[in-house]
Structure 1
Amino acid sequence: MFNTSAIQYPKSKLSILALLALNAVIYGFTDTLTSFADALVWVVLLVIYELEANKVGLPLGETAMRHLRSGLIGVIGLVFASYWRDSEWLDVANSLLWFGLIAILETEVRWPDYVRRHPRFFWLATIATFTGLLAMAGVWLARGAWLDGYDAVLWIVAFGFIEVDIFHLLKRKRSV
């Protein structure tokens, strides 16, 4: 059974999740169906990673959750193809960075022993990915694309605080 009491959500995490859900709705009303699907699928994927990271009793089995994650990642791939087709190069570059983050997270979930054997590589890869994402947010804000800039910053905060635990990541471990 799905055990929601196992997660002690600070108000900051709940606030970020609420802002992300609102963000998806805003895209639904103000932008394309592709942007709405992109935002919504990412919210669901983030929640799944959070549940798995906190070892919560999931509503589906581990195999079903893996298939669900893979399906969501497939939708994100289709959104990427749409950005590529429409020559939306900032969105393409941003998507590639997020694919990098997904690869890191999937590796942590599926092959944790491998990650433990190569902590320096995964630490550097995560730092490089977040640096690139911050640069993308800066580009959108500099171009006056406020919704895209806000969206980028919100997602960086969401993954940084909810999933990756940015404070823990930034403390360089002795083994790194």
Structure 2
Amino acid sequence: MAVAHPVLRRAFPYFKWTVFGLLGINVVLFFTEQTLVEGLDSLAWLTLLLLFEWETSQLDKPYVSRWEKWSIHAGRILAYGLILQSAVEYGAADYIAEHGAVDLWNALTWIGIVLLLEYDIYFPGEYARWEWYLRNGAKLVLYGALFVFALLWGLEGRWLNTYDALLWILCFFTIEFNVLEFEEEIPYSDAADGDPAPVAASPAAGQASGEV
């Protein structure tokens, strides 16, 4: 759903980048106040968040150059490598014994969300109505789980983790907004022939079809 009111539309970027800035401060706090694993994990997620912001805000445009395409891919690979390494660390017996299993559950849930977002980027608009509802229903369940994890951290007295978790959810909601704003302009793949708005190609989809 797009931000219809002009004032809200103008204010939204300021809100979004303010939240992103607060998240950047949190990354520094995790390096100084938490474990190295959590610091690297936060940095990797921030990198991935910015890449998602760039790509989901350009879903109707191809990559402008091969340099842009491969830079994004390289950043994504590096970020995912650190994220998966952190998930392995969170799943280690020693880590769970000291910090509990919520960090692991949280990491796996976020990985599920970004996999769905990758699908949004690589196959924009190429899904039927039932698939759209299934995909977004799965996201709602996963985001709901993240709120539960944030609550559990709060009950444990880990307020930085709770605050950080809520910031991350808010930031990824802005990414979801980019996707929804793009999707409202295109029909479902099983829509009637008379429906308006042809399906536009994302940068990632464009590269697969040889447009880049």
Q: TM-score, normalised by structure 1?
A: 0.82
For 1:40 and 1:155, locate their aligned partners in 2 and report how far apart those are by CA, in whole Å. Answer: 12
For 1:61 and 1:19, locate their aligned partners in 2 and report how far apart those are by CA, in whole Å. Answer: 26
Aligned position for 1:22: 25
Distance apart, 1:72 and its partner CA = 0.9
Distance apart, 1:109 and its partner CA = 1.1
Contact 1:130 1:156 (8 Å CA) reproduced: yes
Aligned position for 1:5: none
Aligned position for 1:100: 112
Q: 1:45 and 2:52 equivalent?
A: no
For 1:46 and 1:107, locate their aligned partners in 2 and report how far apart those are by CA, in whole Å. Answer: 15
Distance apart, 1:123 and its partner CA = 1.2
Contact 2:48 2:76 (8 Å CA) reproduced: yes
- Give the one of 132, 147, 150 matched to 2:163: 150
* 1:90-129 equivalence runs, <5 A: 90-115=102-127, 118-129=131-142
Give secondary structure in 2 for the equivalent of 1:75.
Answer: helix
Contact 1:17 1:158 (8 Å CA) reproduced: yes
**Structure (1/2) with the larger helix percentage:** 1
Q: What percentage of residue pairs aligned between the two structures are identical?
A: 26
What count of residue pairs does the alignment treat as equivalent? 162
- Give the one of 78, 81, 86 matched to 2:88: 81
Say which is worse superposed, 81-90 or 12-21, in terms of deviation.
81-90
Deviations 1:86-134 (A, max 9, x none): 2241100001110110111111112224445610111101111111111
Distance apart, 1:68 and its partner CA = 2.4
Q: Specify which structure has the bigger relative contact order, considering alpha-carbon pairs within 8 angstroms and separated by 6 or more residues.
A: 2
Aligned position for 1:132: 145
Contact 1:115 1:122 (8 Å CA) reproduced: no
Aligned position for 1:11: 14
Say which is worse superposed, 8-17 or 140-149, in terms of deviation.
8-17
Q: Which has the larger radius of gyration?
A: 2
Give secondary structure in 2 for the equivalent of 1:164.
Answer: helix
Q: Letter of the 2:157 partner, please give it.
A: G
For 2:82 and 2:127, locate their aligned partners in 1 and report how far apart those are by CA, in whole Å. Answer: 26
Say which is worse superposed, 46-55 or 110-119, in terms of deviation.
110-119
Aligned position for 2:3: none
Q: TM-score, normalised by structure 2?
A: 0.69
Q: Letter of the 1:54 partner, please give it.
A: S
Q: 1:32 and 2:62 equivalent?
A: no
Contact 1:51 1:58 (8 Å CA) reproduced: no
* Unmatched tracts of structure 2, length 5 or more: 1-9, 182-187, 189-212
* Unmatched tracts of structure 1, length 5 or more: 1-7, 170-174
When the two chains are superposed, the root-mean-square deviation of aligned CA atoms in Å is 2.5
